[in-house]
Amino acid sequence: MLSKTDINLLKYLGSVFVLGCVYSSSVFAQGLNCTNNNDPALKTICSAKFSKELNLFNESTLTTNLVTDAPLRLIQDTEKLWLQQLKQCKSFNCYKQQFDSRIEQLNFYTSMNQSLTQHYLKYENGDISSAPVHLQIHQLNKDNIKVEGIAYRNPNNKLDKQTIPFLAYSTTETKTEIINNESDCKYEFNYTKAYLMVKTEQKNCDRFSGIYRLYD
C-alpha cells in the first residue's frame, strides 16, 4: 500500500508532468541537429568521423517516428536519456557504442509490437533520473508478465559494466511482488494509473527503487 507521503509525491510529479506537456511544442524526437551548436560533446559527434553513424541515427529516428506503435513521447524521452549517456563519452569507441545502442533500440521500437508492453522511465523531481532506469512490463498472455529493465551506468566502462540488467517473470495476480532473476533482489511494485513505485528492503538492491512514469 502507498503511504500518504508516496501519494502526495505522485500528485506533485503528475502536476509537473502536465505542465511539461503544456509547454512542449512537439512530441517527436528530432534526431541530432548539428547547426549552431556550442555543446562540446555534440561538436564531437557532429564531426566528419561520425558522419556515417549520425546519418544512420537520424534516418532511424525519422523512420521510428513514422511507423512505430510505441508512444512518441517515449521515443523523445529515451533520446533525451541517450544524450545524457552520450555526453559522458571520452573515447571514439564509447561514442560508437552509444550510437549502435540507440539505433538498436530504435529498430526494436520499429519492428516489435509495442501494444502489449508498458514502458516506464525512472523520474526524480519531475524529470528523468540522473541515474536513469528503463523498465518494460510485457503482457505475455492474460495470466503472465515479463519484466525487463536496464539501469544505465557510466558509458566509458567496459561494455559488460555499462548497464545493470533486470529480468523477472510473474503472474498478473502476483505482479506486485517481483524478484529480479539477475540479482535475487526482491521488490514491491505499486501501480497507479500513470506511475509505478518500486521499493525494496534489501541492501545493495536500491538501484531500481524509485518512482517511474508510465508511457502509454
Chosen domain end from 84, 113, 142: 113
Query: Is residue 148 a part of any domain in this protein?
Result: yes
* Length of the chain, in residues: 216
CB neighbours (10 Å) of residue 211?
A: 19
Distance of alpha carbon 58 from alpha carbon 51, whole angstroms? 10
Please check whether residues 78 and 152 belong to one and the same domain. no
Per-residue pLDDT of the chain (216 residues; tens, 9 = 90+): 555 555 455 444 444 443 343 333 344 556 777 876 677 888 888 888 999 999 999 999 999 999 999 999 999 999 999 999 999 999 999 999 999 999 999 999 998 788 899 999 999 998 999 999 999 999 999 999 999 999 999 999 999 999 999 999 999 999 999 999 999 999 999 999 999 999 999 989 999 999 999 998
Please check whether residues 41 and 129 belong to one and the same domain. no
Distance of alpha carbon 20 from alpha carbon 161, whole angstroms? 33
Query: Is residue 216 a part of any domain in this protein?
Result: yes
As a 3-state breakdown, the chain gives helix, strand, coil percent values, each rounded to 5, of: 40, 25, 35
Please check whether residues 33 and 88 belong to one and the same domain. yes
State residue 12's pLDDT score. 46
pTM exceeding the 0.85 threshold for the entire prediction:
no
Which domain covers residue 136, as residue numbers? 116-216
Contact in structure between 178 and 187 (CB atoms under 8 Å):
yes
Query: Is residue 156 a part of any domain in this protein?
Result: yes
Chosen domain end from 82, 113, 144: 113
State residue 24's pLDDT score. 39
Distance of alpha carbon 55 from alpha carbon 41, whole angstroms? 17
**Grid cell of 39 as nine digits:** 555543446
Query: Which one, of 84, 99, 104, 83, lies nearest residue 50 by Cα?
Result: 99
CB neighbours (10 Å) of residue 131?
A: 12
State residue 42's pLDDT score. 82
Query: In the chain, how many domains are there?
Result: 2
Query: Is residue 18 a part of any domain in this protein?
Result: no
Please check whether residues 203 and 121 belong to one and the same domain. yes
Tell me which amino acid residue 155 is: P
Query: Is residue 86 a part of any domain in this protein?
Result: yes
Please check whether residues 35 and 56 belong to one and the same domain. yes
Residue 103's Cα: distance from chain center in Å? 14
CATH label of the domain that carries residue 200? 2.40.128
